[in-house]
Amino acid sequence: MSDHSKVNADAGKDPGKIRSVSRLKEIMTHYYIDAKTARDNSKKVAWITSGGPVEPLIAMDVIPVYPENHGAMVGASKMGVDLCRQAEVMGYSPDLCSYARADIACAVTQGGPIGGLPEPDFLVCCNNICGTVLKWYEVAARHFKVPLFILDTPFIHGEMTEEARRYVMSQVEEYIGFLEKQCGRKMDYDRMDEVGRLSVEGLRLWQAVLDTAAHKPSPITAFDAFFHLALIVTLRGTQVAVDYYKELLDEMHERLEQGIAVVPGEKYRLLWDNLPVWYRTNWLSEKFASHHACLVADTYTSAWSGILPLIDENRFLESMSVSYSSVYINISHDRMIDKLREMIEKYDADGLVMHSNRSCKPYSLGQYDLQKMVMDQLGIPSLIIEADMVDERHFAESQIETRIDAFMETL
Amino acid sequence: MDTGTGNITAGIDIGSITAKAVLLRNGEIAGTCVRFTGYNAKNAGRAVFDELLKEAGIAKEHVSVVVSTGYGRKAVDFADKAITEITCHGAGAWFMDPEVRFVIDVGGQDSKVMRLDENGKVVDFAMNDKCAAGTGRFLEVMARAMEADLDDFGVLSLSGEPARISSICTVFAESEVISLIAAGASRENIVSGIHEAAASRISAMAKRVGVAVPVMMTGGVAKNRGMIVALENKLGVSLIVSSYAQVNGALGAALLASRMG
């Protein structure tokens, strides 16, 4: 257990809001306006999975739209239950991912926080994050009657084999061909290189923002990161994202200089695993803060920048086959535990909080094994909370509260 | 605080079905009280405390610290501190027998397991989640379906060969029980099957946390002999049944209160 004498001298001092929040909201509003008015500006819109290779789309001047980011907005606006129910009425199983259910319902009813996503011209689906996206995107392709490109990334058990690398690489080439056909013009590879560099720069800045949480007390929590992640997902590979993360990093450095603790009186440092519980981020944030516990890092927001060591910015497209195949939930438990170990050490965490997310099976499967490995190998206690990222019907407040309180009592 | 009556502390456990209270005086149990919680947890906390004080003949002002626990712990507005039932059950079991390293608590709406260190502190725990299978409520529903008195329900299970009940859901399991009745299965065998189903659920949770001996069973369901036997069979260890099983959480709360004084 780490040293708990690190209680901040400024205990009780209000950390204040992160200034950049308003700038992020502004960027996201513009982004959705651009996407919604794409047709008026003769631009194409592609829907793409959150872990999909977006950089070629940016290079082709296509506006990428993320049903999963949309799902997160649905969750945060507490509209999930209603939309999930609508999808269930259509015949989709309540066991289906709540992002998929909410998004399918929005596509049909034009409901949700922004009146549905702009219609896609084509779809790009990469199964490095789950298998559900394949069926989800097939449904969307049928509904909108648009072409679908599937990029199949094999699961990485140990090291990625040369055959697997070539297999994905050949699909990257097909992907470029698909885009050229959809856009009716050739890929500008100079522009592609530039987008690749911007993507890497954005990811590096994002990782630097996350790394400020290694400082004691931390200037940022995972709950903040869930929000500020938005541009890494949606605008990765653009100058806008790079500029934004520079600004955010500056603000975090300012906070460090001023010794601002995001959780006043920080006493415990915890890691979060899995997607956020979008409709309860405030409640959870306050609950942990009431125990002077700061969620210093998480496996989710670091998943994008986690592949940085595998990206060669000078050979971006070629390295993409390995990097995109190696995201956190497409790797073996042995590799996951290595990542957890690295994070526990880097952020000096006292405990691990795992969200067993009913919607996200690939992320939640094996959490009990990981929990045991973390305890046996690293001596770090962990807590499993059963909930769902969007469907509030799976959140039992008093049961979760008791678990958190009891876990904090044992630390 | 010494008022001439010794150091007196109280623990109040507001559960989903019953409210329990325990008084400790100089490290000895000075009184216990159990009553139904009803719909108002706040009133239940006051009522069970008042009744306990009256029975024990102790004035409220002589109680130095009150700790509340249970799902209604925050509703006890006169408590000095609220502590979760996980920590309290660990402390209560340790009070009864400091050798105990593992506690299985089965209450009305939840079942939980805790591994303890040598000081009675919880090292790891697990609770059932969003499901009544493996709880007192499951047994209550089943006893009703079998038209059995809850007190005799456990004993009845001992004379049967467990019928197979595969569903983990209380509602679906009840349908299965009704099908078994229709198929002519004996009452004893069905009741035995019900106990085995609940024990399977709880023992799986216990094994996940890692059973350490000796094991103590607490909570209202510890009164059910059939559950004790079914759990012992599943876990392959014998269970110590606390003589204060139902009030164990309140007892732990009173003990933790005495350490705060």
Single out the residue of B153, B136, B238 nearest to residue B193, CA to CA. B153
B121 CB within 8 Å of a chain A CB? yes
Say if residue A264 is preceded by a cis peptide, omega within 30 of 0.
no
- Interface mutation vs chain A, best among B87, B130, B208, most A CBs within 10 Å: B130
Average pLDDT value over all residues in chain B: 91
Q: What is the pLDDT of residues B67-93, one digit of tens each?
A: 999 989 999 999 999 999 999 999 999
Domain-by-domain residue ranges, chain B? 8-94+247-260, 98-241
Q: Write the residue in B86, B129, B208 that is nearest to A406 by C-beta.
A: B86
Cβ contacts of A397 on chain B, cutoff 8 Å: none
Domain-by-domain residue ranges, chain A? 37-188
Average pLDDT over residues B136-160: 86
**Identity at B257, one-letter amino acid code:** A
Among the residue ranges A250-254, B55-59, B163-167, B181-185, the one predicted with the least confidence is B163-167
Q: What are phi and psi of A65, to 5 degrees?
A: -125, 140
B71 CB within 8 Å of a chain A CB? yes
Q: What are phi and psi of B102, to 5 degrees?
A: -150, 135
Q: Write the residue in B122, B123, B208 that is nearest to A368 by C-beta.
A: B208
**Residue pair B52/B20 in contact by the 8 Å Cβ criterion:** no
pLDDT at A85: 96
Average pLDDT over residues B16-32: 94
Q: Give residues with Cβ within 8 angstroms of A35, minimum separation 6.
A: A45, A63, A65, A117, A118
Is the CATH number of domain A37-188 1.10.287.130? no
DSSP string computed for A213-228:
GGSSS-S--HHHHHHH
**Residue pair B14/B45 in contact by the 8 Å Cβ criterion:** yes
Single out the residue of B214, B195, B73, B45 nearest to residue B135, CA to CA. B195
Structure ipTM over 0.90, yes or no: no
Token representation of residue A160: 């990625």
Interface of A with B (CB under 8 A): 368, 375, 381, 386, 394, 396, 398-399, 402-403, 405-406, 409-410
Check CB contact under 8 Å for B124 and A402.
Answer: no
pLDDT at A56: 97
**Residue pair A330/A277 in contact by the 8 Å Cβ criterion:** no
Fold designation for B98-241: Nucleotidyltransferase; domain 5 (3.30.420)
Cβ contacts of A406 on chain B, cutoff 8 Å: 84-87, 122, 125
pLDDT at A12: 46
Token representation of residue B187: 């009452």
Burial class (CB in 10 A: 0-12, 13-18, 19+), B15: buried
Domain B8-94+247-260 homologous superfamily, CATH: ATPase, nucleotide binding domain (3.30.420.40)
pLDDT at B109: 80
The yes-or-no verdict on residue B1 having pLDDT over 60 is no
- Report the alpha-carbon distance of residue A31 to residue A35 in Å, rounded: 6
HSE, side-chain direction, 13 A CA sphere, residue B136: 22
Question: Min CA distance, B113 vs chain A (Å)?
Answer: 12
- Report the alpha-carbon distance of residue B64 to residue B80 in Å, rounded: 9
Q: What are phi and psi of A355, to 5 degrees?
A: -90, 110
- Interface mutation vs chain B, best among A402, A404, A407, A411, most B CBs within 10 Å: A402
Check CB contact under 8 Å for B86 and A368.
Answer: no
Question: Min CA distance, A401 vs chain B (Å)?
Answer: 9
Say if residue A217 is preceded by a cis peptide, omega within 30 of 0.
yes
Output the pTM of the full model.
0.89
- The helix/strand/coil state of B10 is strand
B75 CB within 8 Å of a chain A CB? no
Q: What is the pLDDT of residues B186-244, one digit of tens each?
A: 999 999 999 998 999 899 999 989 999 999 999 989 989 999 999 999 999 999 999 99
The yes-or-no verdict on residue B162 having pLDDT over 50 is yes
Average pLDDT over residues B44-68: 95
Cβ contacts of B127 on chain A, cutoff 8 Å: 399, 402-403
pLDDT at B261: 65
Confidence at B141, pLDDT banded by 50, 70, 90 = confident
Cβ contacts of B124 on chain A, cutoff 8 Å: 375, 381, 410
pLDDT at A139: 96
- Report the alpha-carbon distance of residue B176 to residue B182 in Å, rounded: 10
Alpha-carbon A395 to chain mean position:
21
The yes-or-no verdict on residue B37 having pLDDT over 80 is yes
- Report the alpha-carbon distance of residue A155 to residue A165 in Å, rounded: 11
Q: Write the residue in B121, B123, B129 that is nearest to A399 by C-beta.
A: B129
Average pLDDT over residues B19-33: 95
Token representation of residue A334: 């042995």
Dmax over CA atoms of chain B, in Å, equals 66
Which chain B residue's Cα is nearest to A398? Answer: B71
Taking CB atoms within 8 Å and a gap of at least 24, the contacts of B77-81 are: B77/B42, B77/B45, B78/B45, B78/B46, B78/B49, B79/B12, B79/B45, B80/B257, B80/B260, B81/B257, B81/B260
Cβ contacts of B85 on chain A, cutoff 8 Å: 402, 406
- Report the alpha-carbon distance of residue A284 to residue A223 in Å, rounded: 9
- Report the alpha-carbon distance of residue B224 to residue B242 in Å, rounded: 12
Which chain A residue's Cα is nearest to B117? Answer: A410
Output the tens digit of pLDDT for each of chain A's 411 residues: 344 444 444 444 567 789 999 999 999 999 999 999 999 999 999 999 999 999 999 999 999 999 999 999 999 999 999 999 999 999 999 999 999 999 999 999 999 999 999 999 999 999 999 999 999 999 999 999 999 999 999 999 888 999 999 999 999 999 999 999 999 999 999 999 999 999 999 999 999 999 999 999 999 999 999 999 999 999 999 999 999 999 999 999 999 999 999 999 999 999 999 999 999 999 999 999 999 999 999 999 998 888 899 999 889 999 988 899 999 889 998 999 999 999 999 999 999 999 999 999 999 999 999 999 999 999 999 999 999 999 999 999 988 999 999 999 999
**Residue pair A83/A278 in contact by the 8 Å Cβ criterion:** no
